[in-house]
Amino acid sequence: MGPSRRFKGQSLYHRIHRTRGGSELHAQAYLKLNDTQGAIDAYKKAIKLDPGRDDTHTALGNLYFYEKRYQEAQQEYEQAVKLNPSAANRFL
């Protein structure tokens, strides 16, 4: 089934939001609107759609760290390292 048939009848918003990249774009938009919880929810959705992306875990960890939610930040950073131990820039 081609992409046009799969998304037939769906708005562009729904087409984008159903992808990991779309969820990350939403997270960035929420951050620009100073909606931290919206950004956290969008990153969590991105992780649910593609749990193997270490960069999304790192981004969520950075957001938790900024919000002084250090234990949650550490969990995300640890998951990122498990997924990609060769990445050098995980911890501050």
Please name the CATH architecture into which domain 12-83 falls. Alpha Horseshoe (1.25)
pLDDT in tens, 39-51: 999 999 999 988 9
Helices (H) then strands (E): counts for the chain? 6, 0
Q: What is the pLDDT at residue 26?
A: 83
Contact indicator for 16, 25 with CB cutoff of 8 Å: yes
Q: With a threshold of 0.85, does the pTM exceed it?
A: no
What is the predicted pLDDT for the residue at 3? Answer: 45
Would you list the domain boundaries of the chain?
A: 12-83
Q: Which residues contact 45 (CB under 8 A, 6 or more apart)?
A: 23, 26
- The pLDDT profile of the chain, 92 residues, written as one tens digit per residue, is 444 444 444 443 444 344 446 677 888 888 889 999 999 999 999 999 889 999 899 999 999 999 999 999 999 999 999 998 887 655 54
Radius of gyration of the chain (CA): 15
